[in-house]
Structure 1
Amino acid sequence: MTKPILYITRKVPDQIVKKITSNFDVRMWEYEDQPVPRNVLLQEVRNADGILCLISEQIDKEILDQAKRLKIISNMAVGYDNIDVLAAREKGIVVTNTPDVLTETTADLTFALLMATARRLVEASDYIRNDQWTNWSPYLLAGSDIHRKTIGIVGMGRIGHAVAKRAKGFDMSILYHNRNRNRNAEVELQAEYTDFESLLRNADFVVSLVPHTLETDQLFNKEAFAKMKSSAIFINASRGKVVDEDALLHALHTKEIKAAGLDVFSTEPIRRDHSLVKLDNVVCLPHIGSASVETRTRMLQLCIENLEGYFFGKGPKTPV
């Protein structure tokens, strides 16, 4: 029996590949630190029965039109805005993602980013690296307290709920806004549901954990930042395109808000000359929300389980 052809768009550990070669004819882009070139992806997809891809690969209509044999796209991410899901559905191609396995790890990073931004940790580390520390003074690199403040979580899904649990440990008051009420968070964590504008006006920390959709595109715009406290800190660990970056830059320059911590950007990767990187009151990270060895390995394993379930089992575990 001919094995299904699986194309993997980024180099993964050899031990993972060895486990699946008995079931799949594996072809793989051989570089871990750079995405597959589009012309290569266009060529490879023509013969692939399955694709294992990352969020960095745009699987759009042009790619799908070349995919004459493709049956399943296994996306190594929770979000799937890199895939034209409607076009895939029209062609009968299954799309899967990796929910749940990265919830706690991403919540860890989100709260760590909040803490680093509030307490100016990156700035303080650079202060020593640049040999600027010559004496102690009362307000040297003084940041903002986190405990007993109010956190406003926009997007109270699995990750939002996990971030709220961490906030509870700091005696924070929890506001949230979501398409649907999260009754579990309200009962378990005393989280208070509120409208978007009220959250912006009252939160000391505004945390974005929403997916990028037509409704959330540039949700955090000039009007949104203008409603926030001048002492507010904005954290984005969701998708870059939910933020109008020009509006954020203006809000930071004019001190409409105090600071921002960003793990995602409208166009990635960014370079050191990016306007937001140049600001001392912004902490920028290279989209590492789920980047622990354990979690990334579990995500990859779930991708493979989805592929094996589709071709050899009762179906994929986590279809979109």
Structure 2
Amino acid sequence: MEDNRPWALLAETSDRGNSEADIDIMNQHFQTICYKDFLQNQLLHGPEIEAVFVMNTRPVVEPSLLNSLPSLKVVANAGVGVDHLDVPYINSMGVKVTNTPGVVSDATADMALGLLLASARTIVEGHQIAVDPETSHIPLKPIGVEVSGSTMGIIGMGHIGHKIAQRGKGFDMKILYHNRSRRSVEEEQAVGATYCENMDDLLRESDFVVLATNLTPESRGLISHRELSLMKPTATLVNISRGLVVDQDALVKALQTGTVRAAALDVTHPEPLPRDHPLLGLPNVLITPHIGFNTYTTRRKMVQMMVENALAAVKGQIIPNEVKPP
């Protein structure tokens, strides 16, 4: 019996690409080929591929790949951010770009609060003391800082930012936010958030500054020497957006000199950082490997949405989550 499922290209099955569970979902509607196998015979497989599934920025959608896929109709990206994709150029090739908005918001917001709490309460340091074979008594330190009743400033009040504010409200935090546009009064009241038209005011007042903005030309290097100098010396910077939103050299200096207390980062640039990068050696830095969205439930929903977007594009239907060029 002839298999009429369209063909899709995806990254390798590995810890850096797609899991077996991801591919099982994709294979319900697509015949899939991994990038490694595709490279073995591009002339054979290239003409039949109609979709590319991009997970963790892989495979890299560069001009040489696009030129080898004459039947390509869609690049379906996992997650919201598409800063790794040249959307105007891809569109110029007659190819649609899609993403998965909303589906990652809860998991990413959970991660933001997890990083905030872990840093504030020195959870990793405490764990290391508790399991150290040399520990014979529990010292007075580590002593953390209070989260409940503190002030959290959120830069980027989109869907994820609003979810972060919801969680902060549960800790009786005062919520400030800065965004390109102000949210409605009802949305502000729902999470007890106060709008700061001037980001500097937010930086000065916040005990925790959480970055939840998209990476754009305007937000690249948004937090640098000047911005860090405005923060309280007792404040913590939490970044779950993109590494390039922060000037990492400026952050290293601020952490070394006590300009800010600490940083908790789920994103860096590059990922992973070079093993000799100074951020990796600072005791007041907590880094996780861009795992904000990575739960079983969220990943499954995300892959299902990618498949729905790709199917619509391949069939010429209205695409639920098409990304338009800026």
Q: Which residue, 164, 185, 188 being the options, matches 2:187?
A: 185
- Equivalent residue, structure 1, for 2:175: 174
Q: Structure 1: any 5+ residue segments left out of the alignment?
A: 30-35
The separation in 1 between residues aligned to 2:128 and 2:155, in whole angstroms, is 31
- Pair 1:273-2:308 in alignment: no
Counterpart of 2:166 in structure 1 is 165
TM-aligned CA deviation for residue 210 of structure 1? 0.7
* RMSD value, Cα: 2.4
Matched, 1:224 2:227: yes
Say if 2:91 is the partner of 1:89.
yes
SS of alignment partner, residue 168 of structure 2: helix
Q: Distance in 2 between matches of 1:192 and 1:18?
A: 44
* Aligned counterpart, 2:261: 258
1:1-320 pair list within 5 angstroms: 3-11=5-13, 12-14=18-20, 17=23, 21=27, 23-29=29-35, 40=39, 43=42, 46-47=46-47, 48-57=49-58, 58-137=60-139, 139-183=140-184, 184-194=186-196, 195-312=198-315, 314-320=317-323
Distance 1:15 1:296 in 2: 9
Question: What is the CA–CA distance in structure 1 between the aligned matches of 2:32 and 2:112, rounded to whole Å?
Answer: 35
Contact conserved, 1:155 with 1:176, CA < 8 A, in 2? yes
- Deviation track 1:253-279 (CA, whole Å, cap 9, x = no partner) reads 000000000000010122543311211
Q: Secondary structure at the match of 1:319?
A: coil
Which structure exhibits the higher relative contact order, with contacts defined as CA atoms closer than 8 Å and separated by 6 or more residues? 2
The question of whether the paired residues in 2 share the 8 Å contact of 1:55 and 1:82 is answered with no
**CA apart distance, 1:42:** 11
Q: 1:67 to 1:108 in 2, by over 3 A?
A: same
1:150 to 1:206, Cα distance in 2 relative to 1, 3 A: same
> How far apart are the structure 2 equivalents of 1:42 and 1:162?
45
State TM-score, norm by structure 2: 0.88
**Displacement after TM superposition at 1:227 (Å):** 0.7
Q: 1:70 Cα shift?
A: 1.4
Q: Secondary structure at the match of 1:306?
A: helix
Question: In 2 relative to 1, CA 119–8 (structure 1 residues): closer, same or farther, beyond 3 Å?
Answer: same
Contact kept? 2:25, 2:304, Cα under 8 Å: no
Three-state SS of the structure 1 residue aligned to 2:264 is strand
- Residue 175 of structure 2 aligns with an amino acid whose one-letter code is I
Distance 2:28 2:116 in 1: 45
The whole-number CA distance in structure 1 between the counterparts of 2:147 and 2:191 is 17
Preserved CA contact (<8 Å) 2:55 2:77: yes
Contact 1:151/1:172 (8 A) holds in 2: yes
SS in structure 1 of the partner of residue 280 of structure 2: coil
Give the Å deviation of 1:200: 0.7
TM-score, structure 1 length as denominator?
0.90
- Greater alpha carbon shift after TM alignment, 307-316 vs 107-116: 307-316
Cα deviation, 1:108-152, whole Å, max 9, x if unaligned, reads 111000000111111111223333533344x41001100111000
Q: Secondary structure at the residue paired with 1:131? A: coil
SS in structure 1 of the partner of residue 12 of structure 2: coil
SS of residue paired to 2:281: coil
- Judging changes above 3 Å, is the alpha-carbon distance between structure 1 residues 118 and 92 closer, same or farther for their aligned structure 2 residues? same
8 A contact 1:114–1:235 mirrored in 2 = yes
| Amino acid in structure 2 at the alignment position of 1:151 | M
Moved more, 183-192 or 195-204: 183-192
| Maintained 8 Å contact 1:155/1:178 | yes
Please list the CA deviations of residues 7-65 of structure 1 after superposition, one character each: whole Å capped at 9, or x if unmatched.
11232455654565475332124xxxxxx69x949948843211001132332344334
Q: Is the 8 A contact 1:238 1:264 kept in 2?
A: yes
Distance 1:215 1:41 in 2: 40
Tell me the amino acid that sits aligned with residue 54 of structure 1. Answer: M
Question: Whole-Å Cα distance in 2 between the matches of residues 248 and 204 of structure 1?
Answer: 16
